[in-house]
Chain A
Amino acid sequence: MRYSALRIFKEALTGHKGWTQQWRDAAPAESYDYVIIGGGGHGLSTAYYLAKEFGGARIAVLEKGWIGGGNVGRNTTIIRSNYLLDGNEPFYEFSLKLWENLEQDFNYNAMVSQRGILNLIHNDAQRDAARRRGNAMILNGSDAELLDTEGVRAMYPFLNFNDQRFPIQGGLLHRRGGTVRHDAVAWGYARGADMRGVDIIQNCEVTGFRIENGKVLGVDTTRGYIGAKKVGVTVAGSSSRVMAKAGMRLPIESHVLQAFVSEGLKPIIPGVITYGAGHFYCSQSDKGGLVFGGDIDMYNTYAQRGNLPVVEDVIESGMSLIPALGRARLLRSWGGVMDMSMDGSPFIDKTHIDGLYFNGGWCYGGFKATPASGYCFAHLLKTDRPHEVATAYRLDRFMSGNMIDEKGQGAQPNLH
């Protein structure tokens, strides 16, 4: 069923009886050409683009719980293309272009809102770095504007401009960045994939891989054995656990990132603001809640909850940037488990096992990458070659010395 304004009008007149299920509850077949493990944003977008753009046939998405129940439903919904390095920026720009056309493409209201992202700067060195990054963005087809203090004040007059240590001296504005309704992304991709014949199999946990002579033959699951010509793994957060079943160790640690939302308020923050002097970023949801977050908790964990010291740190940072935040009440906080890779950049690559492909290591930036990650992973699964914007995301880059250290802070999760 195609969604449209006309359809809503018709349904309104006929008692909304014509709406059908958005995707089937598929039972697993004996075998598939492609099995995607993980029904999150990246897994569903992989299946969608594989079916739609690359003509993949007989595709299944296996999900341990329910689709969209992991980080695609737990993030702070920001999309952006404001990276510096050549290995990253073309990929994220490709992703943002897919976001811009996403709703028309999969006929689903994902509430893509390009409300602009402002990275604040507080000293001369940060201004130099922002100018350099802005130029790199423009060279790669993205957009960037360097604002001075007055430019920032015109947009956000309520910020703490005269902090003694970290006065706001300007910002790098990325107007095409913004936010998206995150759950609708998973649902839209699921529906789009299902319409093209993809089997989305929920409550189906992969318990092992069948590998013979260095080639994957299929996967054992809680719903029986499923044969597959190619298996793609998109289970960021649990990557180490799943790939360990194939005997692999990854350059990844799992960490928790917390996020917060305040009670609903009248519109106050039209875009997304990131603090340059502390780890804090904030936007306002369409329901009015201030959505904000900060740093990871900095220790290995698979618990989807963090601890109070980081809550305190995030809110202190928030208060130093937006003093008015102290008048709002915190409604809830939650945590998501991140694949923290050693250099802070992701992986979209073949493994040494024939037919087994890996997508993960998204750190705390996986949501904005959802469309491009799926597109590039589908390209890799279909053609066995990396997509031209995702050539740097190799699993062997630590051995070959081609790390993508976006922040220039070194190759260890506790540094970025």
Chain B
Amino acid sequence: MIINHPLLGPRDAQEFTYLGDATLINRPDWQSENALNAFHDYLYLRDNPAGEHRELWYHEQGDRSWLVVTRNTMTHEILNVELAHDVAKAAAAERSAQ
């Protein structure tokens, strides 16, 4: 697989390590009433879809950036690559706007 890094261009997936579902960016609020349940679901449960999957890859053998890669789990086709930093910032902006 070739991951099209937003800053460095196409890189071999071998340079990256994989973490998992990109929802791991959205850490639950530890002070909320149902924090226990929220953290259980956050840590252990997964949608694990067959098809499009947004996931975290870490460019360990490169610039050490975290990426959010949208990839098809049926075909391994990579559909979109974003910097996790940008994704997290956009999500935070959306939360504060609410």
User: What is the interface of chain A, defined by CB distance below 8 A to chain B?
Assistant: 238, 240-241, 244, 249-254, 298-303, 307, 309, 342, 398-399, 411-414
22 contacts between A and B (CB under 8 A): A240-B46, A240-B49, A241-B50, A244-B47, A249-B41, A249-B45, A250-B48, A253-B20, A253-B48, A298-B18, A299-B71, A300-B48, A300-B53, A301-B73, A302-B50, A303-B75, A309-B14, A342-B43, A411-B43, A411-B44, A414-B18, A414-B19
The 0/1 profile, CB within 8 Å of A marked 1, for residues 74-89 of chain B is 1110000000000000
- A250, A299, A399: the one contacting B46 at CB < 8 Å is A250
- Docked-complex contact B73 and A307, CB < 8 angstroms: no
* Chain A residues within 8 Å of B18, by CB: 298-299, 414
Bound-state CA distance A240–B49 (Å) is 8
* Chain A residues within 8 Å of B46, by CB: 240, 249-253
* Chain B residues within 8 Å of A413, by CB: 20
Within 8 A of A (CB), among B8-25: 13-14, 17-21
* Chain A residues within 8 Å of B20, by CB: 253, 300, 412-414
Interface residues on B, range: 20 to 34
- Docked-complex contact A252 and B76, CB < 8 angstroms: no
Bound-state CA distance A298–B18 (Å) is 7
* Chain A residues within 8 Å of B19, by CB: 414
* Chain A residues within 8 Å of B55, by CB: 299-300
- B43, B45, B49, B76: the one contacting A307 at CB < 8 Å is B76
Within 8 A of A (CB), among B24-81: 40-41, 43-50, 53, 55, 71, 73-76
- B1 contacts the other chain (CB 8 A): yes
For residue A310, which residue of chain B has the nearest CB? B14
* Chain B residues within 8 Å of A244, by CB: 47
Bound-state CA distance A238–B50 (Å) is 9
- Docked-complex contact A249 and B43, CB < 8 angstroms: no
* Chain A residues within 8 Å of B75, by CB: 303
* Chain B residues within 8 Å of A300, by CB: 20-21, 48, 53, 55, 73
Instruction: Output the residue of B44, B45, B74 with the most chain A CB within 10 A.
Output: B44
- Docked-complex contact A309 and B73, CB < 8 angstroms: no
Contacts A253-B21, A414-B19 known; list 4 others, CB within 8 Å.
A253-B48, A254-B73, A307-B13, A398-B40
Known: A298-B18, A307-B1, A414-B19. A251 touches B74 (CB 8 A): no
B2 to chain A, nearest CB (A): 11
Bound-state CA distance A302–B71 (Å) is 12
* Chain B residues within 8 Å of A307, by CB: 1, 13, 76
For residue B48, which residue of chain A has the nearest CB? A240
B67 to chain A, nearest CB (A): 13
- Docked-complex contact A342 and B44, CB < 8 angstroms: yes
A317 to chain B, nearest CB (A): 16
Bound-state CA distance A414–B21 (Å) is 12
* Chain B residues within 8 Å of A412, by CB: 20
For residue B47, which residue of chain A has the nearest CB? A249
Bound-state CA distance A298–B71 (Å) is 14
- Docked-complex contact B45 and A302, CB < 8 angstroms: no
- Docked-complex contact A309 and B50, CB < 8 angstroms: no
- Docked-complex contact B44 and A251, CB < 8 angstroms: yes
For residue A254, which residue of chain B has the nearest CB? B48
Instruction: Output the residue of B17, B40, B50 with the most chain A CB within 10 A.
Output: B50
